[in-house]
Chain A
Amino acid sequence: MSFADDAYGALTDHDDDARWAYGTGFADPLAGVPTTVAGDVDRADLAAYCLMLGDDALVMSHRLQQWVTRAPELEDELALANIGLDLLGQARLLLGRAGEVEGAGRDEDALAYLRDAGEFRNVRLAERGDADFAHLVARLLVFSCWRLALLDRLTASRDPVLAAIGAKGVKEVTYHREYAAQWVVRLGDGTDLSHARMRAAMEAVLPLAGELFSTHEIEARLAAAGVAVDPALLRAEFDEAMNQVLDAATLTGLPGAAAAAQGRDGEHGPELGEILAEMQELARALPGGVW
C-alpha cells in the first residue's frame, strides 16, 4: 500500500477482491433503438402521451424522494430509493422522448422544471401525499399494478422507443409491485393498529383508481394506431392482482373506483402545485445556471 503517494491508490490493493467487485453490464436501454416516428402517427399526440406516462413516473418518484430519511427502517430507505430511482429513470426517458418528438428544443429538464401544473399530465394518484407508510404502500400497490399491466402491453407498441421503455419498465415495476404487495399484506394482517391504518389508507386511495382506466382521446387515437395502450383494457388484470393482495391482507369490503378526475388534461389538486414549487424552485431561481 502506498498511502504516502495517493490515499485512493490504496484501494487498488483490493481490486482482486471479487466479493465487492462492481458489476458490469450497465447499458443504455435505448441503445440501437430507432428514434424515427412512423409517418401515420401524430407527433403532438405522441409527445403528449410520453408526457402522460413520464409525468406519472416523475411525480410518483418525487413522492418517494420525500420519504428519504423518514422510512420505517433503514433497509426500506434503500428499497424506496431504488423504486424512486427506477421511476425517475423512466421519467427521464419518457420526457426526453416527448421533447424529441415535439421538436421544439425542450429537453427532459425544460419539461420537468419549466412547465406549470396545468401542463402536467399525470394521474392524480401520483401526486397524492402520503399521510403515513400505509398510504404510501397502498398508493404504490395501485400505481404499480396498473403501470405494470400498462408497460407490459407497451412492449408491443409500434413506436420502438416506447416499446423499449416498456420492456425496461416491466422488470422494474414487477419489483415495485412485489414490494408494495408484501407490505400491504404485512400491515393488513399484522396488528389491529396496522390493519386499521392499512384499511384507512386503501379507503383513501382506491377511489383515485377510477382515473387510471378512463381512456383519454389521445390514448384512444394512439391505441388505434398501435402505439399506445388503451387503459380501459387493463382493468381486469388490475382487479385480479389487487384482489389477490387484498385477500391475503384480510382487507375486504373496500370502496370501488370513483368517477374519473382529469389529471391527464392538466386538472390537478393543490398537491401538485406544492410538489412543483419544491421541485422547480432552484431550477427557476437561477435562469442560465448550469448544473
Chain B
Amino acid sequence: MSEEIRHEWPLFEVFVRAKRGLNHVHVGSLRAADHEMALHHARDLYTRRNEGVSIWVVRSDDVVSSGPEDKDAFFAPSGDKVYRHPTYYSIPDSVPHI
C-alpha cells in the first residue's frame, strides 16, 4: 500500500484549564471533523477524571511556532537584560516593603 493514507479528519491541539486561576495548558491532540466535534472529543478524552474546567481546541495547522533553529535569535537576547529582574537592584535591608 502507498504511504499516502491520511486520516479523514484534521488534527486539533487541545488545551485544558485544570482549575480556575490557572492558564490553559497544552495536553495533546486528537482527530475531529470540525471544531464542535473537537471540543466534544477533547472533553471525552482529556477530562474523564474531572481534570478540567475549560477547554480550547485549535487546528494543529493553524498553530505557528518558533523553531529550535530560532532559539538564539528569539530567546538569547533577553539573557543579558538582568536589569529586568528585581534582584538586580540593591536596596538597604532597613527599607521596608520593597
**Which residues from chain A contact B37 at a C-beta distance below 8 Å?**
75, 182, 186
**Whole-angstrom distance from the CB of A77 to the nearest CB of chain B?**
9
Contact of A21 among B18, B30, B31, B33 (CB under 8 A): B18
User: Chain B 45-80 against A: per-residue CB contact (8 Å), 1 yes, 0 no?
Assistant: 101111110000000000000000000000000000
Let me know if A225 is at the binding interface, CB within 8 A.
no
B50 touches A23 (CB 8 A): yes
A75 touches B36 (CB 8 A): no
A18 touches B22 (CB 8 A): yes
**Which residues from chain B contact A133 at a C-beta distance below 8 Å?**
none
A75 touches B48 (CB 8 A): no
- Which partner residue on chain B sits nearest A78 by CB separation? B44
Cα–Cα, bound, A19→B40 (Å):
19
Contact of B41 among A20, A25, A78, A186 (CB under 8 A): A78
Cα–Cα, bound, A75→B37 (Å):
10
Most buried by B among A25, A75, A178: A75
Cα–Cα, bound, A106→B30 (Å):
44
**B interface residues, how many (CB within 8 angstroms):** 22
Cα–Cα, bound, A75→B33 (Å):
11
- Which partner residue on chain B sits nearest A73 by CB separation? B31
Cα–Cα, bound, A256→B39 (Å):
33
B51 touches A23 (CB 8 A): yes
**Which residues from chain B contact A280 at a C-beta distance below 8 Å?**
none
Let me know if A24 is at the binding interface, CB within 8 A.
yes
B48 touches A78 (CB 8 A): yes
For chain A, the bracket of interface size reads 10 to 19
User: Chain B 8-28 against A: per-residue CB contact (8 Å), 1 yes, 0 no?
Assistant: 010000001010001001010
A75 touches B31 (CB 8 A): yes
Known A-B contacts A18-B22, A21-B51, A23-B49; A79 and B41 likewise in contact (beta carbons under 8 Å): yes
**Which residues from chain A contact B36 at a C-beta distance below 8 Å?**
182
**Which residues from chain B contact A113 at a C-beta distance below 8 Å?**
none
Cα–Cα, bound, A82→B44 (Å):
7
Let me know if A291 is at the binding interface, CB within 8 A.
no
**Which residues from chain B contact A3 at a C-beta distance below 8 Å?**
none
Cα–Cα, bound, A82→B47 (Å):
11
Most buried by B among A19, A21, A178, A186: A19
**Whole-angstrom distance from the CB of B24 to the nearest CB of chain A?**
11
A19 touches B18 (CB 8 A): yes
Cα–Cα, bound, A263→B58 (Å):
46
Most buried by B among A20, A25, A178: A20
Cα–Cα, bound, A186→B32 (Å):
12
**Which residues from chain B contact A21 at a C-beta distance below 8 Å?**
18, 51
Most buried by A among B25, B33, B47, B51: B51
A residues contacting B by CB (< 8 A) are: 18-26, 73, 75, 78-79, 82, 178-179, 182, 186
| Given A18-B25, A19-B18, 9 additional A-B pairs, CB 8 A | A19-B27, A23-B47, A23-B50, A23-B52, A73-B31, A75-B30, A78-B41, A79-B40, A186-B37
Query: What would 6 A/B residue contacts be, using CB atoms closer than 8 Å?
Result: A19-B27, A73-B31, A75-B31, A75-B37, A75-B45, A82-B44
B residues contacting A by CB (< 8 A) are: 9, 16, 18, 22, 25, 27, 30-33, 36-37, 40-41, 44-45, 47-52
